Amino acid sequence: MLKKRVISAAILLPIVVAAVLLGGWPFTILVLVAVLAASVEYTQLLQRCGYRLPWPLVAAGIVLWLADAIWHLEPWLAPALALLALGSGTWQLFRRGEAPTATWALTLAGGLYLGLGGAYLIRLRALPDGLWWTLTALPVVWVADSGAYAIGRRWGRHKMAPTISPGKSWEGYAAEVVSGLLAGLCFGWLWPLVAGQPQLTLTPWRGLVLGGLLAVLTPLGDLFESMIKREAGVKDSSNLIPGHGGVFDRIDSLLWTGILAWGYLTLLLA
């Protein structure tokens, strides 16, 4: 298992880093592919719970939110979302399946959750100094998650949410917070040196705060996806990525990362 995890990470990590460095359409396409892949897994999980969601309508919601992040569709976004809600409701009327109201709501919720999570990653990368903030936010989550995994697996005794994710412990969560704080501090010190731009909005102190914010709150994204998997009765959202499970499993915390980091920076830079 560990060998598969390392091989998969060695293949995927350079792709992600390259897309972040390039920004623009390469990064947007990476986000789009990731959230659409996660949406397929989302519909499959909900199908195991008895809800047959129309994936094209989930995908349409995602595309709308990502398009708004790219082109700022403020005059058109609300009407488009309204049409999506009406179209999804109409589809349920003609389908006449089981639990139509819940299926309608879960269809819209999937597009909203995955779409907004992806959209704010794109918005984060587009901010002033967005490259360096993205190169801080994403690695902070990865480092924090690795710290939680290493400490929790060996010393975890007190379960954090045993009915949702039995493997998570408070000891692992504490290690996650400490790892996130240290990673944020280190990246906040390192990237201005690498960029050769001491006037960057990113500083060690701001990196420390962002690292703490993400380490404290992004585990909720992991728990939220675990809640869905628990209801579906599965361990992973799919087996698409050897050693890591599915795409939804890999981006569950990142869906919160873009929103939290963009919100923090918008307030900071206002």
Same domain, residue pair 206 and 184: yes
For residue 24, being part of any structural domain is answered with yes
* Range of the structural domain that residue 71 is part of: 1-126
φ/ψ bin of 243: left (φ > 0), alpha (ψ from -120 to 50), beta (otherwise): left
Domain-embedded: residue 225? no
pLDDT of residue 188: 97
Return the pLDDT at 67.
98
Residues 140 and 107 in one domain: no
pLDDT at 263: 97
Q: pTM of the predicted model, to two decimals?
A: 0.96
Among left, alpha and beta (phi > 0; psi -120 to 50; other), residue 161 is beta
Residue 157 falls inside a structural domain: yes
Q: Is residue 228 part of a domain?
A: no
Count of the separate structural domains present in the chain: 2
Three-state secondary structure of the chain: CHHHHHHHHHHHHHHHHHHHHHCHHHHHHHHHHHHHHHHHHHHHHHHHCCCCCCHHHHHHHHHHHHHHHHHCCHHHHHHHHHHHHHHHHHHHHHHCCCCHHHHHHHHHHHHHHHHHHHHHHHHHHHCCCHHHHHHHHHHHHHHHHHHHHHHHHHHCCCEEECCCEEEEEHHHHHHHHHHHHHHHHHHHHHHHHHHCCCCCCCCHHHHHHHHHHHHHHCHHHHHHHHHHHHHHCCCCCCCCECCCECHHHHHCCHHHHHHHHHHHHHHHHC
> Which one of 90, 111, 126 terminates a domain?
126
CA 83 to chain centre: 26
Do 190 and 139 share a domain, yes or no?
yes
Q: Are 120 and 187 within one domain?
A: no
Cα torsion 3, 7, 8, 14 to 10°: value is: 150
Question: Which tokens in the block code for residue 78?
Answer: 């609300």
Whether 224 maps to a domain, the answer reads no
Report yes or no on 92 lying in a domain. Answer: yes
156 and 132 part of one domain: yes
Question: In tens digits, what is the pLDDT along the chain, a chain of 270 residues?
Answer: 567 778 888 899 999 999 999 999 999 999 999 999 999 999 999 999 999 999 999 999 999 999 999 999 989 999 999 999 999 999 999 887 789 999 999 999 999 999 999 999 999 999 999 999 999 999 999 999 999 999 998 999 999 999 999 989 999 999 999 999 999 999 999 999 999 987 899 999 999 999 999 999 999 999 999 999 999 999 999 999 988 899 999 999 999 999 999 999 999 887
Asked if residue 155 and residue 50 are part of one domain, the reply reads no
Model pLDDT, residue 2: 60
